[in-house]
Structure 1
Amino acid sequence: MNAPVPVVFAPLLQPKPWGGTRLATLLGKTLPPEPIGESWELVSLPHAESRVARGPLAGRSLAELVAQWQTRLLGRAALAAGRFPLLIKFLDAAENLSIQVHPRPAASDPLGWQPGVKHEAWYVIHAEPDARVYIGLRAGVTPDEVAAAVGTARLVELLRAWPARAGDCFYVPSGTLHALGAGLVVAEPQTPSDVTFRAYDWDRIDACGRRRDLHMAETLANVRYDVTPEMIVPARATARGSTGPGELLAACPRFRVVALREGAGTATVDLGGEPAIWMVLNGAGSLRSAGGDCAFQRGDVVLLPAEGVTAAEFYADAHWLEVTIPCGR
């Protein structure tokens, strides 16, 4: 198949001590008995590679499609270290995640293209009463205070705690201390990194009586002190999506997230010559392209190539996040 087509990839499920079962009930995922914390929906890393779930391309890897379709898939979007430039996940936090930090971008690389940098956004799909997220340091917290508290419960007191409700969106720049709180299911677009430094793990002990390793020196070397509340929860605005106006939830030099909704019927899809990723939260339908159609349903993540997609047919009211990649570096 030479013409690019929209594709859905098989999820790579990640067991986690803080995970649960709500990816099955809320998003239709088929889960094993063990708690699942993350479903990696679209990824191309040295140790993890997405493969097409169904259709004529079933079994083909994301890297193979990038190599085959090139600009017809990516448009003007740049690769990250030769690989697809985003990682797309769903997360289910039955318990608090560890307080952690990802590598701080170097001053010489403000857009964050260096390996390991992980900018991410959390869109809340489901929240239990009183659920919260921990993102960023309280105003005035100093490096000395963080150094004295890292690895202990005192670190929690230094963080900003944000109430979290379905429909909220939070942006977490790499280098920001953060933790997803218990009782949340979120959609997470991020830059393609799995580098995490754990600062505190809530004194959690596994079934064998062990605690997970902490990375206190790495944490202190990477914490940012310039992240403001306005960066974490930016003002909402109307933005153009591929099917019409939507709501801009988060934007950074590496990705942009717009929430879109459509009623049952057919809508024109205009990608403007750039790729898009649909994280389908509700509804079902089919995308039409010159190379063939692609059915989608709740819980699917669809990669739309830059070339060839013309329309979408929605079988019922649909709600999805559209993640796009700003051009250039």
Structure 2
Amino acid sequence: MTGWTEEGLLRSWRVLATQDDSANWRFVHLTDVGPVAVEAGCQFPGRREALIVSFPRAAMSMPGGLPDGKGFDVLTIRDGGLFSDRTAIALVRRPEGSLDIFTVMAADVLRTLDTARTHSPRDLAEAFIGRVSDWQTFMARKRRPLSLQAQVGLMGELWLLSQLIQHGASTTAVDCWQGPLHSAQDFLIGSGAVEVKSSIVGNSFLARINSIEQLDSDGCLMFLAAVRFEEAPDGMNLVEMVERLRETLPAAGQLRLFEAMLLLSGYDEDHVEHYRVKLKLSDARFFPVEDDFPCLRRATVPAQVRKAVYTLDVDALEQLAIPVEQAFSSLGLVKHEP
């Protein structure tokens, strides 16, 4: 599949925005996902960026109508030429909407379609509408300062992001960070994955596992990163950690994506005065999630159990932990020496 990356979409929209705006719409074909066609679009006047996904008409049945727009509009395009025998749904950025967030959303919707490409046209349509609805729920959510627990969790993910950069993945590190997009695991690295759980020294390390799939490696290489912080005057607060990463990311595309992922994580510049707790890394243990690892797995959970949330006592694990360097080496990363 081509044109689905954030930078690919931005390039397409930039080209469309420079063209003559005498027409209401301009389109460029990106890809096909089975019977589904995907176009980048620009709506005039206003040069509003859009993603257009068109389905065979029989596949798209929406008794409840299109999802309500929250941050972006969801429209049906009626074009007797390009979409004459299809149902075309456009996701269009609102003028006040963040282009960075819209771009991440559009790429995520395309990845959702790509994952389901072998499904029936009707199932593809349902996956598309479901993912769009998820994003609109996020857009409508009221933004409040992160709780201390949420700050610690985000610090753990940002720490791992910094480790990826140090181990030679500076131009792709943010692409690996999938937790804010509600991926089953926080980081997808090559063909493997890392799920990050964080705690503060003095507390029992009880990790909340949010789904059956979160630690279900399904035969793929996976690690649980157990990151523990301590409150310390010489540590960093969340704002300082964010600023350090902003200075570290060398590629403009990675920095833009990083800002969008921060917003998706609930980090808002309006709340920085609430993030005063300074945290210092105490230890980080990487546990290979292998066949003997104590977790729920889809293959062994009764089919009638559709969802599950459970608590894992990390301190009680009998499996041997390995250093971050060994885990990253297993995932194909080699640290670049200065």
Q: Taking structure 2 as the reference length, what is the TM-score of the superposition?
A: 0.24
Greater helix fraction, Structure 1 or Structure 2: 2
Greater strand fraction, Structure 1 or Structure 2: 1
Higher RCO structure, 1 or 2 (CA under 8 Å, sep 6+) = 1
Larger-gyration structure (1/2): 2
